[in-house]
Structure 1
Amino acid sequence: MPILNAIVHRIEKNGDAPARLVPAEAPLPQADSLDALLEGLNRAYHGKSKAWGHFPDATESAEGAEEGSKRTSPLPGELADYLAEGRDFTSLTRGIAERLTALLDTHLSVSGDMIVLETRFGDGHFLTLALLHHREGFAVDEHLAVVPARQLNLAQMSLAARIDLTQWRTGDSRQYLSWIRDRGGKALAEGFAALLGAVEGVDATGETRTLLRAFSDYVEKEDLPEEASREKTDALINYASDQASRGEPITLEELSEVLDDQQPRAFFEHIRNADYGLSPEIPPDRKALSQFRRFAGRAGGVSISFDSHLLGSSVEYDENADRLIIKQVPKQLKEQLKGKN
């Protein structure tokens, strides 16, 4: 069972009354229902757009202090104390819940349950927390009667975060901390990041878009046939989507192997030589991936293919005149056309 510890603290908020914390006295006992909850929670979390970052290092902490930063948080120290067995799981999570209660009192007007899970998957050690709300549903009781039932709404996460404790302790990454903010606006988002003590270190959307641009450049440089180009595009999207579903980053060297098992470092070398400024590991952005595909067609001796994101910029389609306008002719094609003049 991957769950080491699990606990729920309730935050009650009714109208204009101050938010009130109803803390748990102890962690939850192991149960099959917790495993099912973990699976659903992970699936919902991985499907959200996230910010990625890390706890501030000594330099960043000093800069934050000079600027009066709100990023100073006791969480990294509390986590270190917990991992050193200086405090128990209930004490650790109650401290987080108390600060979250104060944050919600200012920014949200609904109650919720803060669920915290400590888990292990393989060599990975994680702490996940999520603020969940309830929805009214139905159940069938032992007398086969339909009865009302309150259910945790996994799809509606106001706030959630996941810390890869293994990566944090080994210091091999600056994107071991991810978090989402689904409601409340900018002030709540900034308050939640401050509560975590998080410094945003990776722009997942920007990095994913840069990766896709690098791939487009690679396809153009290699002058791949239409079918091969489509196959590589599918391989890229499938790999990146699978990583997103597991909550794992895109690894450039691994992606390069996926794209071409005959030349497993070809795409990686293209990225390195062109200096796109990409991190070795990129948190995949689902929205950017879903918008990326290639248009392709062949007729009358003419074969055309291009990435969808170029439509409206480098490529324009005039539907009324049935005309495709290419504004930036590929260099290789341009040289061939010049030779025919």
Structure 2
Amino acid sequence: MPIRHSIIHKIDKKPVGSPAVLHLASDEQLDSGARDDLMQQFNENYNATAGKAWGFFHAASGAFPLSSWLSEYLAGGSTFLEFSTTAAEHLAKLMEESNLSTGGHALFCHYQQGMTDYLVIALVQETEAVTMTEELHLMTVRRLDLDHIRLAARINISEWKNNPLSKQYISYIKGKQGRKFSEYFRDFIGCQEGIDGPGETRTLLKAFSDFVESEDLGEESAREKTNTLVSYSMAQAKLGEPITLAELSELIDDDQPKNFYDFIKAKDYGLSETLPPDKKTLNKFRRFTGRAEGMSISFEAHLLGDKIEFDEAGGTLTLRGLPTQLTEQLKRASLQLSGRC
């Protein structure tokens, strides 16, 4: 993960209307193992953070100037230090206007991963840690708290430049403290929500369930393909990368690599070619399957306790919300049995 530029400014501010005091760094972070380890740990924790959203820039304006400053820097019109300084000054101003906000270390990092360029902007807090001195004495030190990232965004610069119609080249943490707490930071980035990650993931899983049913797959094959989908999607989430439908389709079926992809397109589920994986939704998606004596049962794990009840003592399943087609078949069968009686 080559780091092109990295810098950390600091903003001192207490909540409830207190002024924001900006401490600007005079230069970029030096190329060092500590800097690289910091960004490695940041990315791992950021990727693992739940509650992210995906979006794209508002049109550049006085209200949302960051994209224009970023374009100027990328075009060589300003240095990274100048870009980050201007952005940090704007962040401090917005922070001062927000009564709920607190200060922190404003981290700006432009790095490359594979062939893709990214820009990370985050407000990182400090926390205390205990370490040992060379004399084997305990000592309390201050460190950057990368375990609890609350305000951060990652811009896929390559996607933004090469695919301007994309609506998911920015990811950002929505935050558990409520919309007002993080709203000023999203305005600072100039981002509007574009892709609903949980919704897109749910649609993908619905498409996959329909695909499994349409293919009339055996128990083992259905379980294997489900594990492939979940494993691939979770791996992408861990890397901070999107699910690619064509790639997923190839993994699901080596013999017919376009089968699942063509099914999705033919049924018009409205899915994007790439979509951000939502780990919480994926964790709920496991299939229980079983077949015996002419009976085949298969359902998604999240239905257990909702539409499906399992009585362990009696060894029975109670199903609610049966498919209409199955209900009609059962009604006809019931009438035929009644006629015989």
TM-score by length of 2: 0.88
Q: How does 1:138-177 map to 2 (within 5 A)?
A: 138-171=130-163, 173-177=166-170
CA deviations on 1:81-124 (whole Å, 9 max, x unpaired) are: 10111111112112222222233332445431111111012221
Q: How does 1:97-246 map to 2 (within 5 A)?
A: 97-105=88-96, 106-108=98-100, 110-171=102-163, 173-246=166-239
CA 1:323–1:51 in 2, change beyond 3 Å: closer, same or farther? closer
1:255 aligns with 2:248: yes
Q: What CA distance in whole angstroms lies between the structure 1 residues aligned with 2:305 and 2:215?
A: 24
In terms of mean alpha carbon deviation, does 208-217 or 328-337 score higher? 328-337
What's the CA shift for 1:301?
5.3
Aligned-pair RMSD on alpha carbons?
2.6
Instruction: Please point out which of 71, 76, 85 is paired with 1:94.
Output: 85
Q: Secondary structure at the match of 2:184?
A: helix
CA 1:330–1:5 in 2, change beyond 3 Å: closer, same or farther? same
Q: Secondary structure at the match of 1:125?
A: strand
TM-score by length of 1: 0.88
Q: What CA distance in whole angstroms lies between the structure 2 residues aligned with 1:40 and 1:135?
A: 16
Q: What CA distance in whole angstroms lies between the structure 1 residues aligned with 2:95 and 2:283?
A: 33
Letter in 2 for 1:78: W
Q: What CA distance in whole angstroms lies between the structure 2 residues aligned with 1:236 and 1:89?
A: 40
**Structure 1 unaligned regions, length at least 5:** 66-70
Asked if structure 1 preserves the Cα contact closer than 8 Å seen for 2:53 and 2:197, the reply is yes
Asked if structure 1 preserves the Cα contact closer than 8 Å seen for 2:107 and 2:121, the reply is yes
CA 1:216–1:318 in 2, change beyond 3 Å: closer, same or farther? same
Asked if structure 1 preserves the Cα contact closer than 8 Å seen for 2:47 and 2:238, the reply is yes
Asked if structure 1 preserves the Cα contact closer than 8 Å seen for 2:15 and 2:99, the reply is no
1:54 aligns with 2:56: yes
**Structure 2 unaligned regions, length at least 5:** 337-341
What's the CA shift for 1:314?
4.8
Match of 1:68 in 2: none
Q: What CA distance in whole angstroms lies between the structure 2 residues aligned with 1:171 and 1:327?
A: 42
Match of 2:339 in 1: none
Asked if structure 2 preserves the Cα contact closer than 8 Å seen for 1:295 and 1:306, the reply is yes
1:269 aligns with 2:271: no
Q: What CA distance in whole angstroms lies between the structure 1 residues aligned with 2:319 and 2:160?
A: 50
CA 1:323–1:239 in 2, change beyond 3 Å: closer, same or farther? closer
Asked if structure 2 preserves the Cα contact closer than 8 Å seen for 1:157 and 1:182, the reply is no
Q: Secondary structure at the match of 1:30?
A: coil
Q: Secondary structure at the match of 2:92?
A: helix
What's the CA shift for 1:19?
2.0
What's the CA shift for 1:180?
0.8
Q: What CA distance in whole angstroms lies between the structure 1 residues aligned with 2:14 and 2:57?
A: 33
Q: What CA distance in whole angstroms lies between the structure 2 residues aligned with 1:15 and 1:315?
A: 48
Asked if structure 2 preserves the Cα contact closer than 8 Å seen for 1:8 and 1:114, the reply is yes
What's the CA shift for 1:51?
1.2
Match of 1:80 in 2: 71
In terms of mean alpha carbon deviation, does 303-312 or 158-167 score higher? 303-312
CA 1:15–1:306 in 2, change beyond 3 Å: closer, same or farther? closer
